[in-house]
């Protein structure tokens, strides 16, 4: 166990380093000698059992687990024999939360809606969770309704489904909910595949932008050539195609 930044060890799902556990390094040290179990995920949260203990993990906006030599911005290292896995987090929003293994699953999903990929919802079930006047883009980012979509993937899923991001969620048609249901799953699967292939490094490593509309204001839509537009929804930049995603 190698702790470079004790403030990365917290008692709950806080994104603030000042909420660090006073005895965080000692709590992690208690895992030394335990055999790692199968990691689990719900939405943007991870769980890693080391019975009888375990870790809850929130990657924040820039966190990642990387093997090998110590990378820049390493916060904690877990040693397995001769290998080390590093929790790297340049922006320090991520957190490692010590938790008994028996409570991992419950705490992992506490306060969250169903996982957008592992428990993908068909159109009618998705619509039932979004009976709100909020803009559909804002509603999709509400983790209590559906866990796993952030700003980028919500925008990309809406582009795939040809839905304007400002349409009130409760105004979508049955056909639009079906399209959105498929688009969410396709977007997340493609993103995971790209990450595994080493292609999705845009956010963490400054690589080329791999997204269809996100961050592409003024560039031609890959589907129809119309310039991509940007609006602010819920305090976040939202990108869309005015032609493929017509205004309500």
* Last-in-domain residue among 83, 109, 135: 109
Instruction: Please indicate, yes or no, whether residues 72 and 151 belong to a single structural domain of this protein.
Output: no
Tell me if 14 is assigned to some domain. Answer: yes
The structure tokens listed for 239 are 């990108």
For residue 203, pLDDT over 60 is answered with no
Instruction: Please indicate, yes or no, whether residues 127 and 236 belong to a single structural domain of this protein.
Output: yes
Q: Domain of 194: which CATH number?
A: 1.10.8.50
Domain hosting 199: range is 123-240
* Last-in-domain residue among 49, 78, 109: 109
For residue 201, pLDDT over 60 is answered with no
Mean pLDDT of 40-62: 94
Q: Domain of 10: which CATH number?
A: 3.20.190.10
For residue 127, pLDDT over 70 is answered with yes
In the block, tokens 């309704």 appear at 145
Tell me if 247 is assigned to some domain. Answer: no
Q: What share of the chain is helix, strand, coil (3-state, %, to 5)?
A: 30, 25, 50
Instruction: Please indicate, yes or no, whether residues 141 and 199 belong to a single structural domain of this protein.
Output: yes
For residue 196, pLDDT over 80 is answered with no
Tell me if 98 is assigned to some domain. Answer: yes
Query: What is the model's pTM?
Result: 0.90
Residue 194: predicted pLDDT: 79
Q: Going along the chain, which residue ranges are E strands?
A: 2-3, 40-42, 45-50, 53-58, 64-67, 74-80, 83-88, 95-98, 229-233, 236-240
Residue 181: predicted pLDDT: 98
Tell me if 118 is assigned to some domain. Answer: no
Tell me if 116 is assigned to some domain. Answer: no
């Amino acid at each position: 166990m190698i702790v470079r930044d004790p403030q990365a060890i917290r008692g709950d799902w806080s994104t603030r380093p000042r909420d660090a556990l006073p005895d965080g390094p000692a709590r992690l040290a208690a895992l030394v000698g335990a055999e790692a179990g199968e990691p689990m995920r719900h939405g943007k949260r991870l769980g890693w059992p080391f019975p009888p203990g375990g870790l809850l993990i929130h990657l924040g906006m820039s966190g990642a687990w990387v093997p090998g030599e110590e990378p820049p911005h390493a916060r904690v290292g877990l040693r397995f024999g001769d290998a080390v896995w590093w929790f790297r987090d340049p922006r320090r929003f991520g957190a490692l939360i010590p938790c008994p293994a028996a409570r991992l699953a419950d705490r992992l999903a506490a306060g969250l809606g169903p996982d957008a990929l592992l428990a993908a919802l068909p159109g009618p079930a998705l619509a039932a969770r979004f009976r709100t006047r909020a803009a559909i883009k804002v509603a999709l980012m509400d983790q209590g309704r559906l866990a796993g979509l952030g700003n980028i993937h919500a925008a990309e899923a809406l582009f795939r489904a040809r839905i304007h991001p400002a349409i009130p969620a409760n105004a979508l048609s049955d056909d639009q909910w079906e399209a959105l249901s498929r688009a969410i799953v396709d977007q997340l699967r493609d993103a995971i595949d790209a990450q595994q292939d080493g292609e999705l490094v845009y956010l963490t490593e400054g690589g080329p932008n791999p997204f269809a509309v996100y961050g592409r204001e003024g560039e031609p839509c890959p589907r129809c050539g119309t310039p991509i537009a940007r609006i602010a929804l819920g305090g976040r930049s939202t990108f869309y195609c005015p032609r493929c995603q017509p205004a309500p």
